[in-house]
Structure 1
Amino acid sequence: MKIVDIKEKAVPIKSDIKNAYIDFSKMTASVVAVVTDVIRNGKPVIGYGFNSNGRYAPSGLLRERFIPRLLDASPEDIVNDDHTNFDPHRIWDVLMTGEKPGGHGERSVAVGTIDMAIWDAVAKIEEKPLYQLLADRYRGGEVDEKVFVYAAGGYYSPEKDIDKLKKEMKGYLDLGYSVVKIKIGGASLEEDLHRIEAVLELVPSGKSLAVDANGRFDLETAVAYAKSLEPYDLFWYEEAGDPLDYQLQNELSKHYKHPMATGENLFSMQDARNLIRYGGMRSDRDILQFDCSLSYGLVEYMRILDMLKENGWSPRQCIPHGGHQMSLNIAAGLGLGGNESYPGVFQPFGGFADENPIENGYVGLPDSPGVGFEAKSDLIKLLHSVAK
């Protein structure tokens, strides 16, 4: 049992949207194809992976360090004890050989991209959907048959006025989403409140709307927004300050009683642990958004879940960033609280299987082996082009 080739391609996201910090006009993502010598249905098993939006394609790291390191590994070092499948945990150890602790940077994105492809291949070899494989291995076979998802959008763009923002949000609600999210922090507080109130005209209550500042605020601004947002009783107030400013997050929790969310830009178990230790996060209401694709993959994500359990947190408080099928499988297989969705942006990576519509804020999962990329026609077309 061998990995015979790993191919990588950087693809553009090509979007003119922006949040409070960056625009996405030049944003890229890495797509990898891990080709194995295992045959299923007359063809070699190929695992696919990609990194989530918001971080550029780590092509250099993949091609110079991590892909050669994995291809050079002895077959015995990357398979399970009975040689019937690849072992993602052992492969993770191979990928991280020679890497010092700390300074996670973009290498966590490179490893997470390969890790996604490995899990896709492992589930395909076992001829199971990944969510079922995870449930069988780690949750006594229990699977969430449907997963809560919310529609992330509401980005700033030059032509998007209030009417177009409302039209976008109504479109998500018409698709079956019960919660939508918009960006804040890229305009004045007064303008952002106007945008929020416009969307609130479309939904039953503030609990159907989340807002995301993408780490833009200093403490004074974060608190000013908190005081203005408090009466709306929103679904959550997300990433007010720099993701590593745990003191800011801790202080903000003293000024805002409703749910807050953060974590999408923390890329290791150690950083996640520091958030829990020092960030003032409240396990009875706040949401953790760690994204396996950006944070060394599912192997590391399971270490994060173990750490959270030790600190009294339920996995139901985890709703990953990224809006991709990998996190959806993790949510269903390991019992998370839901998953982000990008129905209108970051295509073809955002969204789920073609034949699984959103119903009352929940989505089902396909029964195809692996992550389920093959059930999303525009995405699998791109992934197949990388494998050629």
Structure 2
Amino acid sequence: GRRGITTRIIGGIDLALLDFKAKLSNIPAHKLLGGYTESVRAYIAGGYYEDGKGLKELGMEMEENLKLGATAVKMKIGGISINEDVERVKTVRETVGDKIDIMVDANCAYNLNQAIKIADKIEKYDIFWFEEPLLPDDYNGYKILSSKSSIPIATGENEYTKFGFKELIEKNGATIIQPDALIMGGATEFMKVASFAETHHLEIAPHGNQNVHIQLLCAIPNGLILEYYVGNTDPLWGQIYQNDLKLKNGMVSPPDVPGLGLEIKETNLEKYRVI
């Protein structure tokens, strides 16, 4: 990552300790952390670029997401021309209708002028958020973009410490904050960022790692929505954990077991072992 491996190591240790403490207390981790709610809204992440995947195939993917119970979907932009991506966004909106929320994720693909341009072009498709339009350190750029676009700006997956989030938030660079506990030092730092965001009336939508973040999101009052990956996005995901999350009517709930609920299906991993 952009700031090295140290906070990731700390995060792993921190989450292991949370899991251990919750198991000692015989309660799920989210209840140990506060237990604000028992379920949260989730969106299906996808809409990736793939060889041979055109507008028709993109639409078919989104139709499948609706069948799975999605009330919100996310798609990638920034990998092709702005006009081509606008057509992709249009296709998704026409496919899912006007009652489903659409997020777009650029993975830091744009400079400020490009981000303003595409935001202006896709605004009419009622975009729920515009994720990571700029490089993560461009706090001034995020501030300008947020002031010029009516689309809520979401970012934070590449922030490694609470100090980066502090600068982002104080500069009004984003409306939706996206910490990743596995990157930024674990649940301890995640909860600090969530609390600081709450004092600025901002909501939390964690990046990835759904089996961990469901616990943290259910523990905070300003949790917005969970990033959710289905099996066709990561075929191994559903094979790894015993307590796999299930999407139902756009919502997911943490497993009702002590700890984080990250129990591994060891037998399913046997065929992948190299030693």
TM-score scaled to structure 2, two decimals? 0.88
Letter in 2 for 1:178: T
Asked whether the 8 Å contact 2:211–2:245 carries over to 1, the reply is no
Counterpart residue number, 2:216? 330
Provide the C-alpha distance between the structure 2 equivalents of 1:323 and 1:223, rounded to a whole number of angstroms.
30
Counterpart residue number, 1:342? 229
Deviation for aligned residue 1:117 = 2.0
Asked whether the 8 Å contact 2:214–2:253 carries over to 1, the reply is no
Provide the C-alpha distance between the structure 1 equivalents of 2:61 and 2:243, rounded to a whole number of angstroms.
20
Counterparts in 2 of 1:131 and 1:112: CA distance versus 1, 3 Å: same
Which deviates further from its counterpart, 299-308 or 183-192? 299-308
- Equivalent residue in structure 2 for 1:198, among 91, 96, 100: 91
CA displacement, residues 315-363 of structure 1 (integer Å, 9 cap, x when unaligned): xx10101142111001112232221111132354479875753222111
Of Structure 1 and Structure 2, the greater helix share is in 2
Provide the C-alpha distance between the structure 1 equivalents of 2:148 and 2:181, rounded to a whole number of angstroms.
30
In the alignment, structure 1 segments of 5+ residues that lack a partner are: 1-54, 56-102, 136-141
Letter in 2 for 1:299: T
Provide the C-alpha distance between the structure 1 equivalents of 2:121 and 2:236, rounded to a whole number of angstroms.
36
Asked whether the 8 Å contact 1:250–1:280 carries over to 2, the reply is yes
Instruction: Map 1:1-388; keep pairs closer than 5 Å.
Output: 104-135=3-34, 142-205=35-98, 208-281=101-174, 286-309=175-198, 311-314=199-202, 317-335=203-221, 336-343=223-230, 344-349=232-237, 357-374=246-263, 381-382=268-269
SS in 2 for 1:294: helix
Letter in 2 for 1:106: I
Deviation for aligned residue 1:379 = 8.1
CA displacement, residues 109-162 of structure 1 (integer Å, 9 cap, x when unaligned): 222122222212221222211112112xxxxxx431211110111111213222
Identity, in percent, stands at 33
Provide the C-alpha distance between the structure 2 equivalents of 1:195 and 1:280, rounded to a whole number of angstroms.
26
Deviation for aligned residue 1:213 = 0.5
Letter in 2 for 1:107: T
Deviation for aligned residue 1:313 = 2.5
Counterparts in 2 of 1:154 and 1:352: CA distance versus 1, 3 Å: farther
Asked whether the 8 Å contact 1:209–1:234 carries over to 2, the reply is yes
Deviation for aligned residue 1:249 = 0.6
Letter in 2 for 1:204: G
Asked whether the 8 Å contact 1:206–1:233 carries over to 2, the reply is no
Counterparts in 2 of 1:352 and 1:178: CA distance versus 1, 3 Å: farther
Letter in 1 for 2:97: P
SS in 1 for 2:96: coil
CA displacement, residues 223-247 of structure 1 (integer Å, 9 cap, x when unaligned): 1111101111211111110011011
Provide the C-alpha distance between the structure 2 equivalents of 1:229 and 1:379, rounded to a whole number of angstroms.
45
Asked whether the 8 Å contact 2:211–2:244 carries over to 1, the reply is no
Provide the C-alpha distance between the structure 2 equivalents of 1:207 and 1:170, rounded to a whole number of angstroms.
11
SS in 2 for 1:244: coil
SS in 2 for 1:230: helix
Letter in 1 for 2:54: D
Paired residue total = 270
Provide the C-alpha distance between the structure 2 equivalents of 1:379 and 1:186, rounded to a whole number of angstroms.
37
CA-based RMSD of the aligned residues comes to: 2.6
Provide the C-alpha distance between the structure 2 equivalents of 1:145 and 1:292, rounded to a whole number of angstroms.
20
SS in 2 for 1:253: helix
Provide the C-alpha distance between the structure 2 equivalents of 1:244 and 1:181, rounded to a whole number of angstroms.
23
Asked whether the 8 Å contact 1:207–1:233 carries over to 2, the reply is no
Counterparts in 2 of 1:361 and 1:225: CA distance versus 1, 3 Å: same
